[in-house]
Amino acid sequence: MTHPFLDLTPLSAAHFASIEDRVARLLSTEQDVVIMQGEALLPLEGAIRATAGPGTTALNVITGPYGQTFGDWLRDCGATVVDLAVPFHTAVTAEQIREAFAEHPEIDFVSLVHAEAATGNTNPVAEIGEAVRAHGALFYLDAVASIGAEPVLPDAWGVDLCVIGAQKAMGGPAGVSAVSVSERAWARMAANPRAPRRSYLSLLDWKERWVDGGRKALLHAPAQLEMLALEACVERIEGEGLDAVMGRHSSAAAATRAGAAALGGGLEPYVYEAAEAAPVATTLRSPSGVVASELVARALAGDPALPLAAGGGALAKEMIRVNHYGPDATPGTVRNSLTALGAALAEKGLDVDLTGALRAAEAAWR
């Protein structure tokens, strides 16, 4: 008897390459796109270790928890790291990036997270890209939480290393990921004696043995199930249309934000400016005196399938996350999330206007 997950015919190199091409089209990029056989942390780490070394001065922008991790990897590589941390309720500006360049002209690497699912903000990458290009630094971008939710355009923005994963707005598998690599980035890696080689972390191995070989032979057996899931997920996005998928996410964010504000009870959007709020997920500040993780637990008690979570670490006290991404970027999920949060706030004795919240959410869904 055959099993849907087992007994699969081997995934050919040509099939693997065709999935890479489809991912490249999602990114509108002419750069090499390498699919990596692991969760997005694999190319995120691999790209830093490949390009950074003791001679590197990196501007590491911290707008959420991932920026901290990138700074740690950069320091591991021996790079000098200039951290630029901005409060999680806002985004970094191109002006702040230019100021950092003026203060530290030796910066030759910039790491940035596009959208932060963990903190709910999104950064103006197009404008930042102009500043980075003008300065001539290598530009590394974590677009895991933005791909599928808002435009991600590495070529137009001058991104040298753009990492994506399928598990957020793409509604796909978590076990494979991809990175687009510019010629400049390949050259930086080739010149870096410390870049991983003959290693699972190595991007150069894929360059030399896969890309330069005309993508004829894979380096090892591919993660077949995950590759098929990635293909199916890209196919589904192509069927709906990338613009429509992104539209669902921006509508879900606008509706959640408007609904939460109208709900009252002291609930507020965590990110002050709507333009700086990520389409992938909406973060809310819990009312004073209400512990966010307790509120979320109450809301989930009635409907455990809702995409609600408290913030990580110290943020668990004050931040509520509505992860309205992938299949959850729908009016129904937004409505049910607001209803559950409203009920949890009411149980706490707070005064909420659920009818007003649902009306505001519906009006904001464009």
The residues of the shown chain that bind ligand PLP, judged by CB under 6 A, are 39-41, 66, 113, 116-118, 142, 144-145, 165, 168
Please say which residue, 174 or 211, places its beta carbon nearer to ligand PLP.
174
Please say which residue, 34 or 117, places its beta carbon nearer to ligand PLP.
117
E strand or H helix at 194, and its extent?
A: none
Q: Are 318 and 285 in contact (CB under 8 A)?
A: yes
Q: Write down the least CB distance from residue 93 to ligand PLP, Å.
A: 19
Secondary structure letter of residue 219 according to DSSP: S
Q: Write down the least CB distance from residue 114 to ligand PLP, Å.
A: 7
Residue 321 annotated in ligand binding: yes
Please say which residue, 118 or 277, places its beta carbon nearer to ligand PLP.
118
Q: Write down the least CB distance from residue 200 to ligand PLP, Å.
A: 17
Please say which residue, 64 or 259, places its beta carbon nearer to ligand PLP.
64
Q: Write down the least CB distance from residue 209 to ligand PLP, Å.
A: 26
Please say which residue, 20 or 39, places its beta carbon nearer to ligand PLP.
39
The residue among 300, 305, 318 whose CA lies nearest residue 119 is 318
> In angstroms, rounded to a whole number, what is the distance separating the alpha carbons of residues 127 and 123?
9
Q: Write down the least CB distance from residue 285 to ligand PLP, Å.
A: 19
Q: Are 84 and 100 in contact (CB under 8 A)?
A: yes
Secondary structure letter of residue 147 according to DSSP: B
Q: Write down the least CB distance from residue 116 to ligand PLP, Å.
A: 5
> In angstroms, rounded to a whole number, what is the distance separating the alpha carbons of residues 101 and 22?
36
Please say which residue, 19 or 40, places its beta carbon nearer to ligand PLP.
40
Q: Are 117 and 40 in contact (CB under 8 A)?
A: no
Q: Kindly state the tokens that stand for 253.
A: 């964010």
Secondary structure letter of residue 8 according to DSSP: P
Please say which residue, 142 or 205, places its beta carbon nearer to ligand PLP.
142
Q: Write down the least CB distance from residue 228 to ligand PLP, Å.
A: 21
Q: What angle do CA 276, 115, 262 make, to 5 degrees?
A: 45
Helix (H, G, I), strand (E, B) or coil at 254: helix
Sign of CA dihedral 251, 316, 338, 233: positive
What secondary structure does DSSP assign to 61-120, as a single string?
EESSHHHHHHHHHHHHTT-EEEEEE--TTS---HHHHHHHHHH-TT--EEEEESB-TTT-
> In angstroms, rounded to a whole number, what is the distance separating the alpha carbons of residues 75 and 365?
43
Binding positions: 321
Binding positions for substrate: 321
